[in-house]
Structure 1
Amino acid sequence: MEPTSPSYAQQLAAGDTSTVAAYVKSGQPWIWLTAAAISVAFIITLSLLVLTASRGLPHFWPADLVQARYVQPGAPVVPLLAEIRSQEEVTAARLLDAGLPVDPERDLYERILLKIGNRDVGGVDFRYVIADWLIDRSTPADAVVFERLEWGNFHGFLDAVEVDGNLIGGDEAWAAYQKAQRRVDALRAQIREIEKRRIGAINYEIERIRLQRRRLELDGKSPETHASEFAALDARRREQDQKYEALRAELNALNREIRRDAVRVRTVDGQVRSIPLALLVHGYRPNQMNVLAKTGHFLGKIWEFVSAEPREANTEGGIFPAIFGTVLMVIIMSIVVTPFGILAALYLREYARQGAMTRAIRIAVNNLAGVPSIVFGMFGLGFFVYFIGGGIDRMFYPEAAPAPVFGTPGILWASLTLALLTLPVVIVATEEGLTRIPRSLREASLALGATKAETLWRVVLPMASPAMMTGLILAIARAAGEVAPLMLVGVVKLAPTLPIDGNFPFIHFERKFMHLGFHIYDVGFQSPNVEAARPLVYATSFLLVLVVVLLNVSAVMIRNRLRERYKALDH
């Protein structure tokens, strides 16, 4: 039997220089290096998602309420009813620096962060305590958490429910509260529908009537010379006033009805508080909930987070306006940047003479991609908002002066600013795609009698469409996370009125909007309640990543479909 020759791996291990050189020239080391880099990037991205999810999502889980006594040496005993949010070990030296009477000979102490709620009673709703001094811990079954529209959560024990002047206590109190809360929720929905939609539409129409009257006055018309036009406006105004008075009467009746009932709650230190049900969002007994009930509560809070409006300085409620504003801004930006980027790439690659000027333009485009985003924000503020927007106001909306219409930051100017920011990415990606199209296909199309424009439209552009989508994907990924320029051209801390509603022209490009990236900055660095805001920062960050991934996946699916469609022609 003939001896077998050493394997490729054995030759490499033996240090055969010729084999090593051939292996390097084959390109396989670079393939493995690329695969390793991609794996590291994937692991980092996955770790980021896991970190944000693990820090943010537990905020929505209904934690048990722990009743205990806090016995700090040299201080009065404090009864507590709180959620345990986190636990950590701290050094005795750190606690001594904080003025706590701990044993300096001991190395470590366990510190617990408690959410005690009842901010209107104690002034704070979070507190750090030393685990050794938190004694007599229990989880009473009748402990209640009430989520309020103001002042955060209230922790206590339900004593009675006041329903239509009748006081219901004992074992029937909890069932009576749940029934009364459902009634209040229905009334709150009616009030919200009247205030935001019906009265909002009336106010919008009244403002239009005012501006139309002002327009007539600017045109030199007066009630004496053009009585019919002014009379028609006055009639419309009276009609809107009558509708408003009717809605106000209905709204007053609903407000009296919603303020009728209340709950009497006893705190852990024995104080009794009466809370109107109109101020409560939800109430639950976490210590009586099993895993299935807590899971249902968790999913409900997640839905509230993505579908409701924020409250309590953005530390409570949901972030739907920020999600809506982010997605709408990215869509408008994509609609604007795609045709301009493609046309610019077409001109540079297919029409412009390839010389020093064209090379200079390409260098300028590449350098534009490295300009800090805040510079684009300053340009957008000066050019789009003040110059173009101010010009539109002077030309089409003089009756609104001195209040600006388009001459103020809004979602349109924010989208155009980000379109400029991401334009170099689309141009470069499209040019690369056009370069990959074989020249023979262009010549074959021209030989068959097609014009150059027909060749570009029917042959070149369809085959380059996957590259265009790649540029758009990169543009979306960058635009969705930008914050600095948006602070100058349209984004605000709170904008409960969406840029899209039922009032003509339905899409209001001049309105300001909320953005997930700015919401993260505002909650993380501008919130007056740091401990309450911290998990929401992680949850919002996780959601922003999911929104970006969803937008990118949609674009990737379109790109892959186009790539499969034109694969045969490409080869």
Structure 2
Amino acid sequence: MKVSLSNWTKTGSPWVWLNAGAVAICIIMVVGLLGLIAVRGLSHFWPADILQATYQQGDQKITLAGEVVEVEDVLAEQLRGAGVNVPEGLETMRRDLLKIGNRDIGGIDFTWVLDANLSDRQKPAMLFAAERHEWGNFYGYLRSLKQGDEVVGSYDGYDPSEAYLTLWGQFEQSIERAIEINEAILEIQKDEIGAINYELERLRLKQRSLELKGSTDADAFADINTRRDELNAEYENLQQTLIDLYAQVNRDSIQAETASGQMLTIPVAKIVRAYRPNDMGIIAKLGHYGAKLWEFVSAEPREANTEGGIFPAIFGTVMMVIIMSIMVTPFGVVAAVYLREYAKQGFTTRLIRIAVNNLAGVPSIVYGVFGLGFFVYFLGGNIDRLFYPEALPSPTFGTGGLMWSSITLALLTVPVVIVATEEGLSRIPHALREGSLALGATKAETLWKVVLPMASPAMMTGVILAIARAAGEVAPLMLVGVVKLAPSLPLDMNYPFLHLDQKFMHLGFHIYDVGFQSPNVEAARPLVYATAFLLVVVIALLNISAVQIRNHLREKYKSLEM
């Protein structure tokens, strides 16, 4: 039996296949985009081999050592326009982007070289890479290790031997020792001295408050001075401990030689890790890769956010989303319940719904400007004048911070929660409400014990959509609290523990800062991909958690809908 094209079209099958094809294409594009971001970002942490070669640059020959980061083909005409001597007959030439490090010597981390001008290529087993707290990576050969003024080991050759392996082992032990001392120094500076400074500031504000009130309580001032003297004594002891630790950590240093023959003295305390990728097997490289990934998600950034980790940005993003969700959920649910259950359905109610729907389409930067003007300057400024006059003119809540950022994003996402909750309330049969009222329950009891539990999956849907939007917003946060680098987390062991007035880091802003504000573009590029991928993962985890809660609620109240 033949089916005509018009009859087949009338059956709707073409539209089904068209929709299925569109969905499949969208899925492929999303997966492909995530795959590209993941490969570009996560491959950055793999310990690539270090190439050493001789490069012909005009009439000079230069010995280079570094990692091949990128390879591309360049038009011969473009190279000739730049003054490069290109052989006739060639349309394109390959050029390589080498990460040569040693910025404290040459001034740059990366350089482009023509692949055809590289000769005498080799990957020496002794060539090592050292990640440093400053000046980026160093590539070269280990020549000697000093403890104070005493040389404890040295090696002048270019082929590994037992003596070199012994020197390398001593070097690794020295790095581990320096890391342990640096961690002790950091703990004293951030935790112990930080707590003392925080309490000293509170004492200063308390004394200032008494002075503003005109207090004549001599005992109160005496208690403050006594406690301040105790804290200053503790501070002096910790300072002496720090001086001793700095003397210990600065004891060791190495003498290293670059591929071009320059000698450089590097304090071991400035080295994060050192490794010889040309001499590493696959297992060793996987271990190094795992350590780098863990550092990326657990450590603090360094080198203008182009090295180290992004834990403060992860923490700030998650903390802001949690506070925003706690704020937006009750306000959105209460507004939806009023509009659906209590408000008279008329022109005013329809107008309010139209306004709520329109708010969902307002650009986020408008919310940021509103948050800055109303929350930060108006509310925050008045809070400072009423409750924190002793801190003025330094603002407490009259400046951007975690609380104002969370409230601004809660205001931005509340229309989504209202609409989703109203949809959930409208799907609940009136028979359930009438049955509850017939059994003697009040309207409030019916709402609280019957209607809201059944509408809770819809509420969670609204929260999921709110989280998905708020976690990736950047523009309003730039005005109400996010910063490039926060010296401490908004959650610590100092009272009141959660500091809502404190500025914080955010993954979205970190991507913007590293991608567009970094002075070292080539070093920042892979971190942009890695941070973007991590932001997607964080949003996915937050959404999955909310989806699990919604599914649990849906199963729990499924029987009531039947």
Normalising by structure 1, we get a TM-score of: 0.95
Distance (whole Å) between structure 2 residues aligned to residue 88 and residue 321 of structure 1: 36
Does residue 1:299 correspond to 2:290, yes or no? yes
User: Partner amino acid for 1:190?
Assistant: A
Distance (whole Å) between structure 1 residues aligned to residue 112 and residue 34 of structure 2: 28
Pair 334,528 (structure 1): closer, same or farther in 2 beyond 3 Å:
same
SS of 2:428 mapped into structure 1: coil
Identity %: 61
TM alignment of 1:48-447, pairs within 5 A: 48-72=33-57, 74-103=58-87, 105-167=89-151, 168-170=153-155, 171=163, 172-221=166-215, 225-447=216-438
SS of 1:71 mapped into structure 2: strand
Measured after TM superposition, the shift of residue 165 of structure 1 is: 3.4
State whether residues 92 and 104 of structure 1, in contact with CA within 8 Å, keep that contact through their aligned partners in structure 2.
no
Measured after TM superposition, the shift of residue 15 of structure 1 is: 3.7
Does residue 1:502 correspond to 2:487, yes or no? no
User: Partner amino acid for 2:313?
Assistant: A
Q: Between Structure 1 and Structure 2, how many residues are aligned?
A: 552
Does residue 1:545 correspond to 2:536, yes or no? yes
State whether residues 309 and 496 of structure 1, in contact with CA within 8 Å, keep that contact through their aligned partners in structure 2.
no
Distance (whole Å) between structure 2 residues aligned to residue 16 and residue 523 of structure 1: 56
User: Partner amino acid for 1:327?
Assistant: V
Could you say which residue in structure 1 is the equivalent of 2:158?
none
Moved more, 450-459 or 167-176: 167-176
- Please, which runs of 5 or more residues in structure 2 have no aligned partner? 156-162
SS of 1:203 mapped into structure 2: helix
Normalising by structure 2, we get a TM-score of: 0.97
Pair 460,20 (structure 1): closer, same or farther in 2 beyond 3 Å:
same
Pair 236,440 (structure 1): closer, same or farther in 2 beyond 3 Å:
same
SS of 1:282 mapped into structure 2: strand
Could you say which residue in structure 1 is the equivalent of 2:464?
473
Measured after TM superposition, the shift of residue 30 of structure 1 is: 4.9
CA deviations 1:313-341 (Å, max 9, x no partner) are 00000000000000000000000000000
- Please, which runs of 5 or more residues in structure 1 have no aligned partner? 1-5
State whether residues 148 and 280 of structure 1, in contact with CA within 8 Å, keep that contact through their aligned partners in structure 2.
yes
Does residue 1:45 correspond to 2:30, yes or no? yes
SS of 1:77 mapped into structure 2: strand
Measured after TM superposition, the shift of residue 93 of structure 1 is: 1.3
State whether residues 442 and 455 of structure 1, in contact with CA within 8 Å, keep that contact through their aligned partners in structure 2.
yes
CA deviations 1:377-421 (Å, max 9, x no partner) are 000001111111111111110000000001100010000000000
State whether residues 306 and 319 of structure 1, in contact with CA within 8 Å, keep that contact through their aligned partners in structure 2.
yes
Pair 104,322 (structure 1): closer, same or farther in 2 beyond 3 Å:
farther
SS of 1:103 mapped into structure 2: coil
SS of 1:81 mapped into structure 2: strand
State whether residues 314 and 523 of structure 1, in contact with CA within 8 Å, keep that contact through their aligned partners in structure 2.
yes
Measured after TM superposition, the shift of residue 173 of structure 1 is: 1.2
Distance (whole Å) between structure 2 residues aligned to residue 434 and residue 62 of structure 1: 55
Measured after TM superposition, the shift of residue 106 of structure 1 is: 1.4
State whether residues 321 and 496 of structure 1, in contact with CA within 8 Å, keep that contact through their aligned partners in structure 2.
no
Distance (whole Å) between structure 2 residues aligned to residue 198 and residue 491 of structure 1: 26
Moved more, 367-376 or 264-273: 264-273
Measured after TM superposition, the shift of residue 33 of structure 1 is: 4.2
Measured after TM superposition, the shift of residue 86 of structure 1 is: 1.1
Measured after TM superposition, the shift of residue 36 of structure 1 is: 3.3
SS of 2:489 mapped into structure 1: coil
State whether residues 265 and 274 of structure 1, in contact with CA within 8 Å, keep that contact through their aligned partners in structure 2.
yes
CA deviations 1:212-252 (Å, max 9, x no partner) are 0000000012xxx3211111000000000000000000000
RMSD of aligned Cα (Å): 1.2
SS of 1:274 mapped into structure 2: strand
Measured after TM superposition, the shift of residue 430 of structure 1 is: 0.4
User: Partner amino acid for 2:256?
Assistant: V
Could you say which residue in structure 2 is the equivalent of 1:3?
none
CA deviations 1:348-373 (Å, max 9, x no partner) are 00000000000000000000011010
User: Partner amino acid for 1:522?
Assistant: D
CA deviations 1:111-159 (Å, max 9, x no partner) are 1000000001011010000000011100000001010000000000000
SS of 2:266 mapped into structure 1: strand
Distance (whole Å) between structure 2 residues aligned to residue 494 and residue 306 of structure 1: 16
SS of 1:532 mapped into structure 2: helix
Measured after TM superposition, the shift of residue 52 of structure 1 is: 0.4
Distance (whole Å) between structure 2 residues aligned to residue 473 and residue 38 of structure 1: 21
Could you say which residue in structure 1 is the equivalent of 2:159?
none
Moved more, 143-152 or 168-177: 168-177
Distance (whole Å) between structure 2 residues aligned to residue 504 and residue 61 of structure 1: 42
